[in-house]
Structure formats: structure tokens, C-alpha cells
């Protein structure tokens, strides 16, 4: 199977109708995944057979609104998702800060970023993903945020203020969050911001052993992914219990907690799938 990751910021005049049509298309092609459509564009990740993924890309490439998408593609054994969700949303990525992607910072290509990092250019890399994503893989020396949801980004602006006068590059998984995050930084007085074009995905495809360390968190059944050619078994994360090196994460089974934490297989068994905040029967650890 193939897994696609893509987005496009574009005005969608009748997002409700597009959502219905899109769902029908995905059902016909037996795709699974999560696709969000809003009046500001489309944000999707889905899996399907190579033939159906080709048909899907073709359908989007000839679509009057969604043509010209830069699809990021990877291989996977079977579907990477359990279900198909095609939803109408107010935003393609939720920030609720009244930020428009048209005010985004200019792009820096993976090649340009790599060149600047190799040269030792004085720049600040800011990871615009959630903390549990950055935990298992990130650019070396990047600034990461203690954020569980992208919509909390505006709350972290005071902590980032100290970098406002610096040369900044933002990055995320595939680029969609940076379109808004970089615009938000500009609004907060950052005047030398660029966003990594195509995100970590495009950078690691070009430089699997470059300046990105560890694994890439993905929002599908794989959770952590590695790129072809990347050194295996180099982790930046360790099990929250026994500290062994791993990029394996579990979703704490406490129904209120649901924290995504790094946890090896043995410790998951020992603590019955609960994170460190609970004992092995789920009682809080004080």
C-alpha cells in the first residue's frame, strides 16, 4: 500500500459540497485515512493500493480547486489507518488565532537549509509540532515547545520572543502547520523567518542522515517512521520507565490521561499500558 500526506491552502467556495464529493471519491477508491476540508483548503493523509492512490492523485490533479498538490508518498504494509474520515472543518489545521496562511513566511528548501546547517550558519530552528512528536525525533539543537496541541501555539509566543531578532527557520512534518505558525511569528515581530518547504518529510528524503535525528512521528498506525537510507537504531528518546533507547510510544490507557509516552514493550506489559502517572492498576502515583 501507499500512504499519502498532502495539503493545499486554497479558497474552497462550497466546502460542504466538496467534502461530500471527496468522501464519495475516497469510498469508491477504498482509501482509509483522515482528510479535512475547509473554506481555506484541504489537509489529508490516507492509504490505499498503489493503483487507487494513483487514481486519487489524478483526480486531485485534474480538480479545479485542488490541482497542483505536492504529494508526499511512502510505502506501508497494508492500510495505515483503520477507517476513513472525510470531514468539513472551520480550519485545515486548528489554530483559532485569526492567522491566514497567505501571510506565511517565505520558504527555505531542504537543500538550502542543509547547506546553511552544514556551514554552521547562525540560525534558530523552531519545531512547530507537539511535544510528543518532537520527543522521538527533531532537528539537532532545535527549539521545541511543551505543547500538546497546535492550537496552543499562541500561548507559547512569550517564550519564543527572545528569538524575535534572530534568523529563524520553522519546521513541521509536511509543512502545513508552518504556513500558519510562520505567519504568527511574523505578526509577533519576527522579521527574519523562513519555513521549511515540504517539512521534515522532504528534508529527510533528500538527507536521511542529515541534521534531523531520530524518527518522524506520523499520525497513522506507524506512529514512528524512518526514511530509506537512514541509519537504523539511532534514537533521541528513551523509555519513560526503564530508560532503554526506543522510539516506541503508547497511548496511556487511562481514559482521561491518554498521554502519548515513550515506552518499551516490556514496560508496557509491566505497567499494564498506563503511563508513569499511574500504577499498574491505574491508580494515581503521587
Instruction: Give the catalytic positions in this structure.
Output: 172
Separation of alpha carbons 45 and 198, rounded Å: 14
Choose the stretch contacting Zn ion; rule: CB under 5 A; options: 56-64, 84-92, 158-166, 248-256.
Answer: 248-256
**Shortest Å, Cβ 127 to Zn ion:** 23
**Shortest Å, Cβ 218 to Zn ion:** 22
String of contacts with Zn ion for each residue 196-235, x by CB under 5 A: ----------------------------------------
Separation of alpha carbons 53 and 220, rounded Å: 17
Residue 31 binds to Zn ion (criterion: CB under 5 A): no
Residue 239 binds to Zn ion (criterion: CB under 5 A): yes
Q: Which residues of 76-111 are buried (b: 16+ CB within 10 A; e: fewer)?
A: beebbbeebebebeebbbebebebebeebbebbebe
Q: Hey, which residues between 253 and 272 contact Zn ion (CB under 5 A)? A: 254, 257, 259, 264, 267
**Shortest Å, Cβ 220 to Zn ion:** 22
What SS3 class is residue 91?
Answer: coil
**Shortest Å, Cβ 135 to Zn ion:** 15
Separation of alpha carbons 17 and 270, rounded Å: 49
Nearer to Zn ion, 39 or 238 (CB): 238
Integer angstrom CA distances of residue 256 from 89, 90, 129, 251: 25, 26, 22, 11
Q: Hey, which residues between 112 and 151 contact Zn ion (CB under 5 A)? A: none
**Which residues have CB under 8 Å from 286's CB, separation 6+?**
none
In degrees and rounded to multiples of 5, residue 177 shows phi and psi of: -70, -30
What does the chain come to in residues? Answer: 286
Q: Which of 252, 260, 262, 271 is the binder for Zn ion (CB under 5 A)?
A: 252
* Site residues (vs Zn ion, CB under 5 A): 239, 241-242, 252, 254, 257, 259, 264, 267, 275, 277
Amino acid at each position: 500500500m501507499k500512504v499519502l500526506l498532502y495539503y493545499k491552502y486554497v479558497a474552497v467556495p462550497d466546502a460542504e459540497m466538496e467534502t461530500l464529493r471527496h468522501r464519495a471519491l475516497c469510498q469508491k477508491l477504498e482509501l482509509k485515512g483522515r482528510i479535512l476540508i475547509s473554506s481555506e483548503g484541504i489537509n489529508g493523509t490516507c492509504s490505499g493500493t498503489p493503483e487507487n492512490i494513483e487514481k486519487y492523485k489524478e483526480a486531485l490533479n485534474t480538480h479545479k480547486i485542488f490541482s497542483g498538490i505536492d504529494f508526499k508518498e511512502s510505502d506501508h504494509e497494508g492500510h495505515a489507518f483503520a477507517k476513513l474520515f472525510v470531514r468539513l472543518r472551520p480550519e485545515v489545521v486548528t489554530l483559532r488565532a485569526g492567522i491566514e496562511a497567505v501571510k506565511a513566511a517565505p520558504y527555505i528548501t531542504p537543500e538550502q537549509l542543509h547547506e546553511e546547517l552544514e556551514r554552521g550558519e547562525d540560525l534558530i530552528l523552531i519545531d512547530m509540532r507537539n511535544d510528543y512528536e518532537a520527543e522521538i525525533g527533531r532537528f539537532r539543537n532545535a527549539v521545541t515547545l511543551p505543547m500538546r496541541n497546535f492550537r496552543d501555539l499562541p500561548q507559547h509566543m512569550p517564550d519564543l520572543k527572545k528569538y524575535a531578532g534572530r534568523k529563524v527557520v520553522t519546521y513541521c512534518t509536511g509543512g502545513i502547520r508552518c504556513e500558519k505558525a510562520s505567519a504568527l511569528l511574523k505578526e509577533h515581530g519576527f522579521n527574519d523567518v523562513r519555513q521549511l518547504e515540504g517539512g521534515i518529510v522532504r528534508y529527510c528524503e533528500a538527507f536521511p542522515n542529515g541534521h534531523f535525528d531520530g524518527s518522524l512521528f506520523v499520525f497513522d498506525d506507524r506512529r514512528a517512521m524512518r526514511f530509506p537510507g537512514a541509519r537504523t537504531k539511532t534514537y533521541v528518546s528513551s523509555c519513560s520507565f526503564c530508560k532503554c533507547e526506543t522510539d516506541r510510544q503508547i497511548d496511556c490507557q487511562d481514559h482521561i490521561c491518554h498521554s502519548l509516552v515513550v515506552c518499551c514493550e516490556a514496560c508496557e506489559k509491566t505497567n499494564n499500558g498506563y503511563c508513569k502517572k499511574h500504577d499498574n492498576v491505574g491508580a494515581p502515583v503521587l
